[in-house]
């Protein structure tokens, strides 16, 4: 995909472009300066050619070993409106207090035929996975 194609997608009101770092590091394993640079420089790298602000972030890898409270705080301090982890789960009202640690339903094709996708979208597997805990932002 080139920048012109990306600009067309960004102009669609149904699409939102977020950023995902420059080099895809496991941010929790990086020093604080590198972590913040990866986040903020990746936003600048997108904003300049797109000519529009980038307000959303996705943590590389995104599991608890890759993104935790330090990263959630940094993304908030850097002014992002929201950020997604890969912690499995559904979004609940309570996530309004944890907008920089949102869960995500990964659609990657692994064991995901249409029937399986419908089960995932029901949220039932995540209720079991998370033992009923609705927010996992620690």
**How far is Cα 101 from Cα 62, in angstroms, rounded to an integer?**
9
Q: What token pair was written down for 129?
A: 């996975």
Q: Between residues 25 and 123, which has the closer beta carbon with respect to Zn ion? A: 25
> Which residue has the CB atom at the shortest distance from Zn ion?
60
Q: How far is the CB of 20 from Zn ion (least distance, A)?
A: 6
Closest by CA to 27, choosing from 64, 77, 79, 82, is 64
> Binders of Zn ion: how many residues, by CB under 5 A?
1
Q: How far is the CB of 75 from Zn ion (least distance, A)?
A: 15
Distance of CA 62 to the CA centre of its chain: 7
**How far is Cα 71 from Cα 124, in angstroms, rounded to an integer?**
28
Q: What is the per-residue binding string for Zn ion in 47-66, x denoting contact by CB under 5 A?
A: -------------x------
Q: For binding to Zn ion (CB under 5 A), which residues are involved?
A: 60
């Amino acid at each position: 995909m080139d920048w012109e194609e990306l600009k067309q997608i960004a102009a669609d009101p149904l699409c939102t472009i977020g950023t995902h770092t420059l080099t895809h590091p496991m941010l929790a394993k990086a020093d604080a300066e590198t972590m913040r640079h990866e986040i903020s420089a990746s936003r600048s790298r997108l904003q300049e050619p797109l000519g529009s602000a980038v307000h959303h972030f996705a943590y590389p890898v995104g599991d608890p070993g890759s993104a935790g409270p330090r990263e959630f705080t940094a993304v908030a301090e850097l002014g992002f409106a929201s950020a997604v982890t890969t912690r499995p789960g559904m979004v609940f009202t309570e996530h309004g207090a944890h907008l920089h640690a949102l869960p995500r339903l990964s659609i990657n094709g692994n064991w995901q035929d249409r029937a399986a996708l419908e089960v995932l979208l029901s949220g039932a597997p995540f209720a079991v996975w998370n033992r009923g805990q609705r927010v996992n932002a620690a």
